[in-house]
Structure 1
Amino acid sequence: MNIKISRGALRGTVQMISSKSDAHRLFIGAALADQPTEMVLNGSSEDLEATLQCLQALGADFLRQGDNIKVFPVEKKEELAVMDCRESGSTLRFLLPVAAALGRNVLVEGKGRLPQRPIGILTELLREHGCFVSNDQLPLEMHGQLKGGTFSLPGNVSSQFITGLLFALPLLEEDSEIVLTTEVESRGYIDMTLHTLKRFGIEVEEGKRGFSIPGGQQYHSPGVMQADGDWSNGAFWLTAGAMGQPVTCCGLQMDSPQGDKAILDILKQFGAHVEVEGDRVTVSHGKLKGCVIDAAQIPDLVPILCMAAAAAEGKTEIRNAGRLRIKESDRLAAMADCLKGLGVPVEEKQDGLVIHGGKLTEPQGEIRIDAYGDHRIVMSAAVGAALLGREAVIEGAEAVAKSYPAFFAEFIRLGGGADVL
């Protein structure tokens, strides 16, 4: 699906959807718990549906009541479980260790770029601890019972590997230890996992080198749980406010462990005005100036921050973002292409971008932006095109369904122009 974006301001109030990152974790905790759990959600997405279907394949069940979902815990099954992770890296990397801890015989599949995304570190750890894993990329088969012990892995490859092990290891008979051989990146996502585990009564002790996890633990259902509002997707609207007219996002908790709430500090660094009142966050335009952004802990914010940088006067340098090359797309290359298409001077580095804001060049002919099948590229391009005053066609705009199916409905409601071609 191609969508034509018209130039113009976005302004108004958005009720934020539930955090995909939080809901993934809550669904897994609920599926492993001792009693059913009522999940209160505001909206869903393709990635969350992938996690639900994979948990169902492992023996959980669900009852939908509007947007809310009642989760019935996993029951032991003997037959082969087919886990289709679709394009969800979180689903794959969280649930592969969980399936191993449950001793399940599984066939794991995926589509898009997911079969090419790296999981070799994780599959090798599972082999070292008692499992047969047929391949280091999808599709793969796995069987055998995961055993506890010491799990050594780098902390700067994927926080999702660590999260998957943190969910799985409490289920084992033996005690376990996760030893991190490098500094951790995307620390906020690990904090979200630890927060979820605590809510389900799981004990994890953090040390200087990693985590100690006692075996033989039981997940205990809190009864009713509500997923936090989504700071990652809220960042698109908040950045729109920084680039133009005021935008307010409701339902964003300031005490959330989500690392992407750092968007507020970064927009302030650019020079935007930020107001917080309870769970309402309003961002409005200031005199934006280029700055240096360390993306090691907030990689998912980089695409939309590129648009703030394009609107800011002077140079913005985004550093420590090399892992973006192995996301749903090579996000550094994709955003460099997107910015160039919009007339923004940009230099692509191996682990980052240098963006020269306030120096738009006039495009030659129609602007067409390839989203590379990546939901964050689509949303960033839409916000950027509208607020930089460009008419542009975004190719592959249906990718927003991965995390934010209602994005374009909200975009239009806030005053944006978006026409399906």
Structure 2
Amino acid sequence: MTTAASGQRFHLSQGGALCGRLRVPGDKSISHRAIMLGSIADGETEISGFLEGADALATLRAFRRLGVEIDGPRGGRVRIRGVGRDGLRPADAPLDMGNSGTSMRLLCGLLAGQRFASTLVGDASLSRRPMRRVTEPLAEMGAQIETAGEDTAPLRITPAAELVGIDYRLPVASAQVKSSLLLAGLYARGQTCVTEPAPTRDHTERMLAAFGCPVARDGARVCVEGGARLRGCRLEIPADISSAAFFLVGASIAPGSDLTLEHVGINPTRTGVIDILRAMGADIRIEAPRDVGGEPVADLRVRAAPLRGIQIPEELVPLAIDELPAVFIAAACAEGETVLTGAEELRVKESDRIQVMADGLARLGIAAEPQLDGIRIQGGRLGTDETTALIDSHGDHRIAMSFAIAALRASGTIEIDDCANVATSFPGFAALAAGVGLRIREA
């Protein structure tokens, strides 16, 4: 089991503006799915724009251990020689997912239908994250999955006599649970259907279709038929809107900013952060919209604008769940109060993102009141009487990057501890951010 080093620290000097053009790394969610589906497809799959971050690389290494030949990544390019629906082979040791919850939950579904046993492990953070919401519906399909005492990893998957398709209604909106069940459904008898209480990212459905797998959609319900085979294809992965979100916020709050983010995925199930920031008064323009491999992309131009506090619409929460820590920084710089509800999912991410963000904002002199399912943030002046504010990211990549952006409006310097896991989703963050005006250095 691996544990990322915790000693890396970001040092941020106050002020600055974000200007120029920037392309953030490839979409993490799509990168995971491209490796998974390309591996069980018939024939070769060629990928460009693959995210060479620790999380996506954990998925890639897992499929190599499962007998799949994968060339790369080199400059975001990957070639997969798919083994077909039934061609995976047992790994010779537990599959280490590192810090990646997406890898563990989706692979749990895919491996539940194999004819061999598998064990999934992760780092200390991932080993604390709940897995019951995936393992329980998979058990209804006939999967045999053993968890640790608190329904956490390691996950031990033994071959099932047979998986049977189910018609499952998600109690809480979750793209990971939906995707896990659909992947298991490829190996199940009959049809597997998932109904969502609110829209979540639909990359799995779009990519299954790109690989030639029929996907039936009817409103909030999506279905796949067991036994479907996939065909290798070419995929271009857009820039990750979750990574772009830090710069959307940074350019919005820093006077004088004018930044264009290139080739960003604007899948409508992922654009909640744009809608929330625009509701707060952000100046974000969508330029040159186009379609790439079934996914909509565009350039996003963002300029500094005065922000105001809002009640964040609950229907936007699932569409911005990963970007909400960055939104909290926007709220801290806005005039008035911002209120978030319906986001209890944030409590069980890489950290308790509600509490950790509230603690960090308090260190910067911002009144932030955590709630069970959200937070109340009173906008104000970012800064304390201390010369340097020390923020503990708790090893959470999105916490670290959010507070890095906060330095643009801080009245003093900021140091952020435990930043090594930024590489899980955004390798090279500090260098790219410095290149457009963030006053950041690593130590």
Shared fold per TM-score greater than 0.5: yes
Checking the alignment, whether the CA contact within 8 Å between 1:57 and 1:82 is kept in structure 2 is no
Q: Secondary structure at the match of 1:96?
A: helix
Q: What are the Cα deviations for residues 235-289 of structure 1, in whole angstroms up to 9, with x where unaligned? A: 11111111121121011144x35x3323222222111212232132111112211
Instruction: State which of 7, 14, 30 in structure 1 corresponds to 2:14.
Output: 7
**Aligned residue for 1:403?**
425
Paired residues for 1:385-404 under 5 Å: 385-404=407-426
Q: Please state how far the C-alpha of 1:2 moved relative to its aligned partner.
A: 1.7
Normalising by structure 1, report the TM-score: 0.92
Q: What are the Cα deviations for residues 73-105 of structure 1, in whole angstroms up to 9, with x where unaligned? A: 233425655211111000001111101122231
Instruction: State which of 309, 317, 320 in structure 2 corresponds to 1:290.
Output: 309
- Is residue 145 of structure 2 the alignment partner of residue 133 of structure 1? yes
Normalising by structure 2, report the TM-score: 0.88
Between the aligned partners of 1:264 and 1:3, the Cα distance in structure 2 is: 26
Checking the alignment, whether the CA contact within 8 Å between 1:81 and 1:105 is kept in structure 2 is no
Instruction: State which of 117, 121, 129 in structure 1 corresponds to 2:133.
Output: 121
Checking the alignment, whether the CA contact within 8 Å between 2:382 and 2:409 is kept in structure 1 is no
**Aligned residue for 2:187?**
171
Q: Please state how far the C-alpha of 1:188 moved relative to its aligned partner.
A: 3.2
Between the aligned partners of 1:249 and 1:207, the Cα distance in structure 2 is: 33
Q: Please state how far the C-alpha of 1:232 moved relative to its aligned partner.
A: 0.8
Between the aligned partners of 1:112 and 1:353, the Cα distance in structure 2 is: 26
Between the aligned partners of 1:143 and 1:360, the Cα distance in structure 2 is: 52
Q: Secondary structure at the match of 2:350?
A: coil
Q: Secondary structure at the match of 1:36?
A: strand
Distance 1:326 1:131, change over 3 A: same
| Deviates most, 371-380 or 267-276 | 267-276
Q: What are the Cα deviations for residues 192-242 of structure 1, in whole angstroms up to 9, with x where unaligned? A: 2111111111122234673332222101112x2111211111011111111
Q: Please state how far the C-alpha of 1:42 moved relative to its aligned partner.
A: 5.3
**Would you tell me which structure has more helix in proportion to its own residues?**
1
2:394 is aligned with what amino acid? Y
For structure 1, the 5+ residue unaligned runs are: none
Distance 1:80 1:306, change over 3 A: same
2:244 is aligned with what amino acid? G
Instruction: State which of 26, 44, 48 in structure 2 corresponds to 1:40.
Output: 48
- Is residue 263 of structure 2 the alignment partner of residue 251 of structure 1? yes
Checking the alignment, whether the CA contact within 8 Å between 1:100 and 1:144 is kept in structure 2 is yes
Q: Please state how far the C-alpha of 1:65 moved relative to its aligned partner.
A: 5.8
Paired residues for 1:178-197 under 5 Å: 178-180=193-195, 183-184=197-198, 187-189=199-201, 191-197=202-208
Q: Secondary structure at the match of 2:437?
A: coil
Q: Please state how far the C-alpha of 1:301 moved relative to its aligned partner.
A: 1.3
Checking the alignment, whether the CA contact within 8 Å between 1:108 and 1:141 is kept in structure 2 is yes
Q: Provide the aligned length of Structure 1 versus Structure 2.
A: 413
**Aligned residue for 1:371?**
393
- Is residue 427 of structure 2 the alignment partner of residue 416 of structure 1? no
1:289 is aligned with what amino acid? R
Between the aligned partners of 1:21 and 1:330, the Cα distance in structure 2 is: 21
Between the aligned partners of 2:370 and 2:237, the Cα distance in structure 1 is: 36
Q: Please state how far the C-alpha of 1:34 moved relative to its aligned partner.
A: 0.5
Between the aligned partners of 2:82 and 2:74, the Cα distance in structure 1 is: 20
Q: Please state how far the C-alpha of 1:369 moved relative to its aligned partner.
A: 0.1
Distance 1:123 1:151, change over 3 A: farther
Distance 1:65 1:320, change over 3 A: closer
Between the aligned partners of 2:318 and 2:223, the Cα distance in structure 1 is: 25
2:23 is aligned with what amino acid? Q
Between the aligned partners of 1:307 and 1:78, the Cα distance in structure 2 is: 45
- Is residue 235 of structure 2 the alignment partner of residue 219 of structure 1? no
Distance 1:126 1:409, change over 3 A: same
Once the two structures are aligned, what percentage of the paired residues are identical?
Answer: 29
**Aligned residue for 1:26?**
34
Distance 1:92 1:43, change over 3 A: closer
**Aligned residue for 2:284?**
274
Instruction: State which of 59, 77, 97 in structure 1 corresponds to 2:67.
Output: 59
**Aligned residue for 2:101?**
89
For structure 2, the 5+ residue unaligned runs are: 1-7, 289-297
Alignment root-mean-square deviation, CA: 2.0
- Is residue 78 of structure 2 the alignment partner of residue 69 of structure 1? yes
- Is residue 221 of structure 2 the alignment partner of residue 210 of structure 1? yes
| Deviates most, 157-166 or 331-340 | 157-166
**Aligned residue for 1:148?**
164
